[in-house]
């Protein structure tokens, strides 16, 4: 009887998904922004604990996207977003293809269309501007920061 019960419980335990790591975040492991379609960006980030394992935490997210150009000393603020991140904003999924595929636990900022930006993106793109995404994740005890270069 115990053997039958064990065989019934194994698929249930394996099918429950993963147990999320909720240790305090020590740094932003990845900040990813890539062009999606011809008129927008898709952005997500991954938090890590002190051992480098992916973790989920609640906090305040502040993100800005700026345009930079070698002929222009000032950054142009294109987009700004702030929101509270809850634990249920972090989702488990797979990224990569083939041998590079891996499981991640990430917080998605979603797709941001260029028409939400403050400047004419056709002009920015035609004049060969680059961009930067700057992200801050504020917990009750620390502020984690990351920055990534963008190509429009």
CA angle 71, 76, 80 (to 5 degrees): 155
- pLDDT 10s digits, 11-38: 433 344 455 789 999 999 999 999 998 8
Residue 60: how many other CB atoms lie within 10 Å: 14
Q: Give the residue from 82, 81, 76 showing the smallest Cα distance to 124.
A: 76
Q: What pTM was estimated for this model as a whole?
A: 0.82
The domain ranges of the chain are: 20-151
In a 3-state reduction of DSSP, which class is residue 33? strand
CATH architecture assignment, domain 20-151: Sandwich (2.60)
Q: Which residues contact 62 (CB under 8 A, 6 or more apart)?
A: 80, 81, 82, 135, 136, 138
> Which pair of structure tokens corresponds to residue 77?
């603020």
Q: What 8-state DSSP symbol labels residue 113?
A: E
Q: Can you tell me the distance from the alpha carbon of 80 to that of 121, in angstroms, rounded to the nearest whole number?
A: 15
- pLDDT 10s digits, 62-111: 999 999 998 888 999 999 999 999 999 999 999 889 999 999 999 999 99
């Amino acid at each position: 009887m115990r053997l039958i019960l064990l065989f019934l419980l194994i698929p249930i335990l394996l099918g429950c998904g993963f147990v999320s790591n909720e240790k305090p975040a020590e740094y932003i492991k990845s900040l990813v922004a890539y062009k999606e379609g011809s008129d927008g960006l898709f952005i997500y980030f991954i938090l890590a604990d002190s051992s480098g394992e992916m973790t989920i935490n609640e906090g305040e997210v502040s993100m800005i996207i700026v345009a930079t150009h070698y002929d222009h000393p000032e950054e142009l603020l294109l987009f700004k977003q702030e929101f509270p991140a809850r634990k249920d904003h972090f989702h488990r999924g797979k990224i990569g293809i083939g041998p590079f595929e891996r499981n991640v636990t990430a917080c998605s900022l979603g797709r941001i269309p260029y028409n939400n930006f403050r400047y004419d993106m056709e002009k920015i793109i035609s004049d060969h501007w680059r961009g930067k995404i700057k992200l801050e994740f504020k917990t009750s005890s620390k502020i984690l920061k990351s920055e990534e270069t963008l190509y429009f």
